């Protein structure tokens, strides 16, 4: 039995007829969600053209996470390219003119055929008794390759779609995740401000921008000034919810210690500290390590990653370790293939999975993050946690 969501009584008879008459009618998406809870085997929801587009997309994005077998067919009075793009990203299977009953019937049939070939349900990490892991990529000097590393690390953790991954762009003023993945930032983190203090899975689902099946992004605001609207507490709440929705959350950051970065460092299971083999960057890394020690962040969360390793620059790994007084955990070789992949908007781990850079990043994903023991969230400590307790 299909679910038809509409407030228009005139729509019900013709659409029900097009679907063979076996239709359960609801007048809002909350009722549709309740119906799905009571009947988990349901595979089709038809959303009428009178339903608000944003509500329809948020509903679909949320269902895509928990019910991949569910198909959503969206009816619209007219078909616009922008609406089609938004619908596809949210996970809508078909967008059909509301007046064309034959097309509606065909779209619903295609959707149900696809549902029969799709797993019935997917469990969120929290439903399996565990939370997803959060890894933050950080450096206090710009130009180290944080965004490129974070993006490719997320691809590596995605493991061809076997794990659910979310990439969060926390460089709120000048984030580059969207352009790196050729994504259009329709919904960004600033849209969560209205939900501050009551962020949940449904709300976060509405913030996600789809990149690949099982790989979503929370993008930075388009306007640099919007960063000031986002409180650190919202970042903390966002990560709490994302842990329940994804196996891995990778956070890209700005090159500075600010309240948003400190909030992520408090929550993250893994601190990926990035450096390059040049003296100014190594000096900044040494200061970063000193700061993390001063703020009592556990050292076992840290991984020192030497990016763009190149013996021709005159600094060996031993030299780097001598300067920063810490062992280098992983190394990523220098290669012109990396900026070339950036300019094409395709991560090198997607474009050239067998490239030495891709292999190095997969090793970080497998050894440093996926292979590490996950500490319970109650054990997290850090600057913001200390400040809350002292207040």
Q: Do 263 and 149 belong to one domain?
A: yes
Q: What is the pLDDT of residues 193-232, one digit of tens each?
A: 988 888 888 888 888 988 887 899 999 999 988 999 999 9
Q: What is the pLDDT of residues 6-33, one digit of tens each?
A: 999 888 998 888 888 788 999 998 888 8
Residue 380 has pLDDT above 60, yes or no: no
Residue 375 has pLDDT above 80, yes or no: no
Question: Residue 339: inside a domain, yes or no?
Answer: yes
Q: For residues 127 and 245, what is the distance between their CA atoms, to the nearest angstrom?
A: 9
**Closest among 132, 137, 210, 206 to 171, alpha carbons compared:** 137
Please identify, among 116, 138, 156, the residue that sits at the C-terminal boundary of a domain: 116
Q: For residues 298 and 326, what is the distance between their CA atoms, to the nearest angstrom?
A: 14
Question: Residue 121: inside a domain, yes or no?
Answer: no
Which CATH number do you get for residue 353? Answer: 3.40.50.300
Q: Do 133 and 105 belong to one domain?
A: no
**Closest among 70, 45, 55, 50 to 6, alpha carbons compared:** 50
Average pLDDT over residues 103-131: 72
Q: Do 82 and 178 belong to one domain?
A: no
Q: Do 107 and 160 belong to one domain?
A: no
Least confident piece of the model among 33-47, 110-124, 139-153: 110-124
Question: Residue 253: inside a domain, yes or no?
Answer: yes
Q: Do 226 and 323 belong to one domain?
A: yes
Q: Do 91 and 224 belong to one domain?
A: no
Total number of domains constituting the chain: 2
Please tell me which residue, 379 or 135, carries the higher pLDDT value: 135
Q: Do 46 and 141 belong to one domain?
A: no
Residue 383 has pLDDT above 70, yes or no: no
Q: For residues 31 and 203, what is the distance between their CA atoms, to the nearest angstrom?
A: 17
How far apart, in Å, are the Cα atoms of 118 and each of 109, 113, 207, 221, 388? 15, 9, 25, 34, 45
How far apart, in Å, are the Cα atoms of 160 and each of 63, 350, 353? 21, 9, 11
Q: What is the pLDDT of residues 105-117, one digit of tens each?
A: 999 999 988 888 7
Task: Report whether 366 contacts 163 (CB < 8 A).
Answer: no
Residue 339 has pLDDT above 70, yes or no: yes
How far apart, in Å, are the Cα atoms of 98 and each of 33, 85, 107, 262? 22, 18, 12, 49
Task: Report whether 162 contacts 211 (CB < 8 A).
Answer: no
Question: Residue 198: inside a domain, yes or no?
Answer: yes
Please tell me which residue, 40 or 14, carries the higher pLDDT value: 14
Please tell me which residue, 330 or 383, carries the higher pLDDT value: 330
pLDDT given for residue 46 in this prediction: 96
Domain span at 107: 2-116
Q: What is the pTM of this model?
A: 0.69
Q: What is the pLDDT of residues 255-314, one digit of tens each?
A: 999 999 999 999 999 999 999 999 999 999 999 999 999 999 999 999 999 999 988 888
Spell out the alpha helix ranges (H) of 134-247.
146-158, 177-180, 201-205, 232-245
pLDDT given for residue 122 in this prediction: 46
Question: Residue 276: inside a domain, yes or no?
Answer: yes
Question: Residue 46: inside a domain, yes or no?
Answer: yes
Residue 186 has pLDDT above 90, yes or no: no
Which CATH number do you get for residue 60? Answer: 3.40.50.2300
Please identify, among 98, 116, 134, the residue that sits at the C-terminal boundary of a domain: 116
Q: How far apart are the first and last CA of the chain?
A: 55
pLDDT given for residue 389 in this prediction: 33
Q: Do 247 and 362 belong to one domain?
A: yes
Question: Residue 378: inside a domain, yes or no?
Answer: yes
pLDDT given for residue 178 in this prediction: 95
Q: Do 236 and 272 belong to one domain?
A: yes
Residue 388 has pLDDT above 50, yes or no: no
How far apart, in Å, are the Cα atoms of 234 and each of 196, 230, 264, 288? 6, 7, 11, 24
Q: Do 62 and 206 belong to one domain?
A: no
Q: Do 249 and 308 belong to one domain?
A: yes
Residue 81 has pLDDT above 90, yes or no: no
Question: Residue 377: inside a domain, yes or no?
Answer: yes
Please identify, among 116, 147, 168, the residue that sits at the C-terminal boundary of a domain: 116
With both helix axes pointing from N to C terminus, report the angle between 383-390 and 259-267 in degrees, rounded to the nearest 10. 100
Q: Do 266 and 358 belong to one domain?
A: yes
**Closest among 163, 131, 166 to 151, alpha carbons compared:** 166
């Amino acid at each position: 039995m299909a679910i038809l969501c509409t407030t228009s009584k005139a729509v019900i008879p013709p659409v029900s007829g097009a679907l063979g008459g076996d239709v359960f009618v609801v007048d809002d998406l909350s009722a549709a969600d309740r119906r799905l809870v009571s009947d988990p085997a349901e595979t089709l929801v038809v959303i009428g053209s009178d339903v608000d587009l944003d509500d329809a997309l948020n509903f679909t994005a949320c269902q895509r996470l928990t019910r991949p077998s569910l198909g959503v067919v969206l009816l619209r009075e007219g078909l616009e390219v922008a609406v089609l793009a938004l619908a596809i990203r949210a996970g809508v299977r078909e967008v059909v003119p509301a007046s064309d009953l034959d097309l509606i019937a065909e779209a619903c049939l295609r959707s149900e055929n696809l549902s029969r070939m799709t797993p019935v349900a997917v469990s969120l990490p929290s439903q399996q008794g565990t939370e997803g892991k959060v890894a933050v990529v950080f450096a206090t000097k710009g130009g180290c390759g944080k965004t490129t590393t974070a993006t490719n690390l997320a691809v590596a953790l995605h493991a061809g779609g076997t794990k659910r991954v979310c990439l969060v762009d926390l460089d709120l003023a000048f984030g580059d995740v969207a352009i790196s993945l050729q994504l259009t930032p329709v919904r960004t983190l600033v849209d969560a401000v209205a939900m501050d203090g009551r962020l949940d899975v449904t709300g976060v689902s509405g913030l996600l921008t789809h990149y690949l099946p099982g790989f979503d992004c929370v993008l930075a605001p388009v306007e640099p000034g919007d960063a000031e609207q986002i409180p650190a507490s919202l970042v903390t709440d966002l990560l709490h919810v994302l842990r329940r929705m994804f196996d891995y959350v990778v956070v890209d950051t700005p090159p500075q210690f600010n309240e948003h970065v400190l909030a992520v460092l408090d929550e993250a299971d893994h601190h990926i500290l990035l450096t390059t083999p040049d003296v100014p960057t190594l000096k900044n890394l040494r200061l970063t390590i000193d700061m993390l020690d001063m703020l009592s962040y556990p050292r076992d969360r840290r991984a020192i990653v030497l990016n763009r390793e190149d013996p021709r620059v005159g600094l060996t790994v031993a030299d780097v370790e001598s300067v920063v007084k810490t062992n280098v955990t992983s190394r990523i070789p220098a290669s012109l293939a990396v900026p070339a992949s950036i300019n094409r908007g395709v991560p090198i781990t997607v474009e050239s999975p067998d490239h030495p850079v891709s292999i190095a990043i997969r090793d970080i994903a497998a050894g440093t993050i996926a292979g590490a023991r996950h500490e319970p969230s109650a054990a997290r400590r850090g600057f913001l946690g200390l400040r809350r307790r002292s207040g």
